[in-house]
Structure 1
Amino acid sequence: MKLVIFDVDGTLVDSQAHIIASMAAAFAEADVPMPERETILSIVGLSLPMAMRELAPEVDETTLGRMIDAYKATFQHLRMAQGAAASPLYDGAEDTVRRLGARDDVMLAIATGKSRRGLTALMAGWDFADLFMSTQSADDHPSKPHPSMVMTCLMDCGVSAQDAVVIGDTTFDMEMARAAQVPSIGVRWGYHGQEALLSAGARTVLDRFDQLDAALDEIWKD
C-alpha cells in the first residue's frame, strides 16, 4: 500500500484571505503594526503559537496570548459567516483526492498546521472527507517541520516511509517530510515559491493538480 499525506492550507484550500483577516484582528488587539501580507503568508503551515511568535517577536507572553485568542475568534466567526467560501478548494483538489481515494493501492492522510477544531469544521463541508484514513493537526503534535504528524500518519496506516509521499506548498512541509525520511512533492499555487520548495527537499514542484498522478508514479516506480 502507498500513502499520500496532504497539507491543507495552501495545498488543498485557498485560505489566505481568511488568514490575513484573522491576523489583522490579532494585531489590532495588541495595537502593534501588522506585518506585510507576504510576511504573514510565509509562516502559514506553522502552528498558530509559533507563527504568531515569529510575526510578533517583540510582544510579551500575555499579549501574545491575547493575539492568539483574537485570531481564533475571528477565524471562527468568518468560517461561520462564510462557510466553505472562507476556504475554497483549489481547482482540481477534490477530483484528485477522489481519484486517488478510489485506488486500491493508495491511502490518504492529512498533516496540517490547523487546529483540530478548524480542521474538523473544514472537513465537515467535504463529502469526500471519509477518504482520509488519518488526520493530524497542530493541536496534537509539535509544529512543522517536526516529523511527528507524518510519523503518526505512517503508523495509523501501516505504511513505511518509502511508500509514502507528502504533498505541500511550504518549506515546512518539505522539511517535515525529510525529517520523517518521506519523499515530498511541492505545489506552486500556495505560499512558498518553487525554488524554496526544491531547496527544502521537494522531488518536484507541480503547476497543476492533474500532474500529481505522474509525479507519484515517478517516485514510486522502483
Structure 2
Amino acid sequence: MSAPLRLVLFDVDGTLVDSQGSIVAAMTASFQALSLPVPVRKAILSIVGLSLPNAMAQLAPEHSNSDQQRLVEGYKQAYHAHRLEQGAASSPLYPGARDAIEALHAVPEILLGVATGKSQRGLDALIEAHGLEHYFVTRQVADHHPSKPHPSMIDTARSETGVDAANTVMIGDTRFDMDMALAAGVTGIGVSWGYHDRSALDGATCVIETFDQLPQALDEIWT
C-alpha cells in the first residue's frame, strides 16, 4: 500500500529567509518619503507575514486610507530597488533551509509549497535568486488571497495538490502562520529563529530551534 501524499507548506520571510534588513529599510523609506514618523524596528517586524494593506493599517492606523496606500506603494518600490541592488544577499536563506528543502523534496510522497505575505513578483524573484524553482509545487501569495491568518492560502494549496488536512503541515515564525494553520484545520510547526517571540507561537503543535529538528517533528506528527 502506497504512502499517502503529504504537503509541507513554508512561510518565507523569517522562516526560510532572513529578509528583515530589506523589510526594515523599505518600510523606513516608505514612511520617510511621506515625511511620517518611522515605526520602531520591533513594530515593523511584528507585522511581517501580513499583506501590505493590513500591515500599513496596523503601523499607521491614524492615517487615511489614501496615505496607507501610498505607504504600500512606497514600500513596494523601495523593496524592489533594494532587491535589485543586493540580489540574493538581501534575503539570505537561514542555515539548514536548503538542506531541509532538498531532503523533503527527495521523499516521493512529500509535496512542498509556500504560503507567504509576499507578492507574486517578490516570491518569484526570491525563488529564482536562490535557485529553488523546482522544489515548490504550489505557491500562495498575498496577491491572490486575504491576508493571513485567513485560511485561504492553505485551503488553495490543499486543493491544488489534493492533500487532506490531516496530512498537511504549515511551518512559520509568526502568530499569523499558526493562526492560519488552526483556521485551516492543519498542523502548525513554529520556528524559533524568526520575527515573533516564541510566546506568540502558542498555537503551534511544536516549535523547532533549527531545521535539523524538522524531520523528527514531521515523523512525530505523521506517526
**Same fold judged by TM-score > 0.5?**
yes
Residues 29 and 66 in structure 1, CA contact (< 8 A), matched pair in contact too:
no
Separation (CA, whole Å) in 1 of partners of 2:75 and 2:114: 23
CA-CA distance at 1:126 after TM superposition: 2.6
| CA offsets 1:80-102 (integer angstroms, 9 cap, x no match) | 01100000000000000000000
**How far apart are 1:127 and its partner, in Å?**
2.2
RMSD: 0.8
Deviation of 1:195 (Å): 1.8
Q: Report what 2:218 is aligned to.
A: 216
Could you state the TM-score of these two structures normalised by the residue count of structure 2? 0.96
The residue that corresponds to 2:199 in the other structure is 195
Distance apart, 1:141 and its partner CA = 0.3
In structure 1, distance between residues paired with 2:39 and 2:81: 22
SS at match of 2:137: strand
Deviations 1:117-157 (A, max 9, x none): 10111111132321111000000000000000000110111
Match of 1:164 in 2: 168
Residue identity over aligned pairs, in percent, reads 53
Are 1:47 and 2:45 an aligned pair?
Answer: no
Gaps of at least 5 residues in structure 1 are none
Structure 1 runs (4+) greater than 6 angstroms displaced: none
Alignment of 1:30-179 (within 5 A): 30-179=34-183
- Deviations 1:151-201 (CA, angstroms, capped at 9, x unpaired): 011011110000010000000000000000000100010011222102xx1
Residue in structure 1 matching 2:21, options 9, 17, 21: 17
TM-superposed CA distance for 1:67, in Å, is 1.1
Residue in 1 that maps onto 2:206:
204
Q: Secondary structure at the match of 2:36?
A: coil
CA distance in 2, matches of 1:81, 1:67: 21
How many residues are treated as equivalent by the alignment? Answer: 219
Within 2, Cα distance between the matches of 1:61 and 1:210?
44
The CA distance in 1 between the partners of 2:155 and 2:28, in whole Å, is 34
Give TM-score, length-normalised by structure 1.
Answer: 0.97
Please state how far the C-alpha of 1:61 moved relative to its aligned partner.
1.8
SS in 1 for 2:61: coil
